Amino acid sequence: MDAPLYARADFRRVAGDVWRPGGLSVTRRGLALCAFPPGARLLDLGCGAGATLRLLLALGYRAAGIDLHIDEAAGSLPLLRASAAALPLQSGGLDGLTCECVLSLLPDAGAALREMARVLRPGGRLLLSDLYLPDDAAPPASPPAGGPSCLRGARTPAEMRQEFRLAGLRLLRDEDHSARLRTLAAELVWNGGTRAALTALTGGNCSCAPRRYGYGLWILERD
């Protein structure tokens, strides 16, 4: 099986240790919308190389990361190895969660969202960003080529809103950041990305205009 997009050398050469459109600028935007109090207890779910976790710690939050596969670039950061569908945390113990370009990679996104809601305190907030499939777009006839990627699990906004409700998460804000996806695709082209990496990112051969997919930011609150 081909390597997932985030593990490709050509993708990492462009994205560094922030493996998603918009990098930390979208993260900072989401944190501003969440308005976590100083010293909030936060978890970065699917922490990857630790870019968001380093930011959370630098901002003074009590934060840890969790991932099924710990990346060596995460170094000595406070990390847990676990599945998103079975978080080894007490119920209601967190003020907030970040989950960026991860949900669409999971085999059971609904189970992961229910776990996120479980570990959040009432009123706790979730910063979620991911690829999405526009409501008026026809679903792909077959899984996108080029190895595992967020495209395989991309949902429409309507489907995501339904899953949020079923998990007990109230949508406070949603923003479209699809221009960030196009920018990342163009940077990958400019820096000599392979066709497989471009297809995994955009869902098609034209890397500068990924028409089928968008990129969104959602802020949610536990009921």
For residue 145, what are the contacts with CB-CB under 8 A and spacing of at least 6?
A: 196, 199, 200
Q: In this predicted model, what pLDDT tens digit does every residue of 51-83 receive, in sequence order?
A: 999 999 999 999 999 999 887 777 789 999 999
Question: What is the reported pLDDT for 222?
Answer: 98
For residue 21, what are the contacts with CB-CB under 8 A and spacing of at least 6?
A: 101, 177, 180, 181, 183, 184, 215
Q: In this predicted model, what pLDDT tens digit does every residue of 158-209 receive, in sequence order?
A: 999 999 999 999 999 999 999 988 877 777 766 655 555 555 555 554 444 4
Question: What is the reported pLDDT for 207?
Answer: 43
Question: What is the reported pLDDT for 206?
Answer: 46
Q: Please name each of the domains of the chain with its CATH number.
A: 5-222 (3.40.50.150)
Which among 57, 66, 110, 107 is positioned nearest to 87, based on CA atoms? 66
- Single pTM value for the model: 0.83
Question: What is the reported pLDDT for 52?
Answer: 96
**Which pair of tokens denotes residue 91?**
């119920």
Residues 209-222 have a mean pLDDT of 84
For residue 9, what are the contacts with CB-CB under 8 A and spacing of at least 6?
A: none
